Copies of this chain bind each other. A is one copy, B any other.
Amino acid sequence: MSLTVLKLGGSVITEKGSPETVDEERLELVVEALRGTDDLVLVHGAGSFGHHHAAAHGVSQDEGTHDTEGVLAIHRSMVRLNDRMLDALGERGIPALPVHPLSAGYRDREGTLFHPIAHVGTMVDEGFVPLLHGDVIVQAKAGATILSGDDLVVALAEGLDADCLGLCSTVPGVLDGEGGVIDRIDSLENVVDVLGGSDSTDVTGGMAAKVEKLLATDAPASIFGPDDVEAFLAGKSPGTLIGG
């Protein structure tokens, strides 16, 4: 089987400026494009769901908390988005099942992520589509910290030995200084000058961080826009191809 790990960015499926609001039109567009895809693992970001609560409780990838209320506020917000996604997928016949990282993974005191993947692989083998998401997870000596969807995608792609890896973003790829899409990136140095930050509150890093993580994976990775999900799943390389 040819396994694909696809992340739907939080800004793709939500209206980032407006708290806990799904972008229904975009979500429908993307979910339609997923129909009929076998051997797929999905991850979604937070958008206007998680970051908000993370910022309010002062929690990030580096700053932990022992405040249970804060952890639950962030986690439940992400679960609400996950639930909406599950319904949208289920309505179109995509057999998605939820996998919440808080229930499965953790970081050790050095910040190294441990997330089990055998059950995710079994879900795929049994014909389900695991739907994971950025979350808050426990970390030794730090309480609980943020796990970004990007870090999760990389861990899943490596653990499951994925054949390809896609990040669906609001932009059509990694953009150069003139707003054109860079076709291919093989090293961070060549593009670091043109990569800016994200345009809204994002506790999980901007485009430069994404590219750096994707360069470190074995599988070829693509960053592309919502209109290119179908092309990506058809085996084409829309947007920007990174490493691989």
Contacts and interface: CB of A to CB of B under 8 A. Distances in A.
Contacts of A66: 95, 126-127
Contacts of A104: 103-104, 116, 119
A162 B143 CA distance: 22
A98 B122 CA distance: 22
Nearest to A68: B95
Interface of A: 66, 68-69, 71-72, 75, 86, 90, 95-106, 114, 116, 118-119, 122-123, 125-128, 137-144
18 contacts: A66-B126, A66-B127, A68-B97, A71-B128, A75-B97, A97-B102, A98-B100, A98-B103, A104-B116, A106-B118, A106-B122, A114-B118, A116-B116, A119-B137, A122-B138, A122-B140, A123-B138, A128-B138
Taking the full assembly, how many copies of this chain does it contain?
A: 2
Contacts of A68: 90, 95-97, 128
Nearest to A83: B76
Contacts of A96: 68
A75 B98 contact: yes
Contacts of A97: 68, 71-72, 75, 102, 138
Given A118-B114, A128-B138, A99 B90 contact: no
A86 B76 CA distance: 11
A90 B69 contact: yes
Given A68-B90, A126-B144, 20 more contacts: A66-B127, A68-B95, A68-B96, A71-B97, A75-B97, A75-B98, A98-B100, A99-B102, A100-B103, A101-B103, A104-B119, A106-B118, A114-B118, A114-B119, A122-B139, A122-B140, A123-B138, A126-B139, A126-B140, A126-B141
Nearest to A136: B97
B106 A99 contact: no
Nearest to A142: B126
A216 B56 CA distance: 47
A137 B95 CA distance: 14
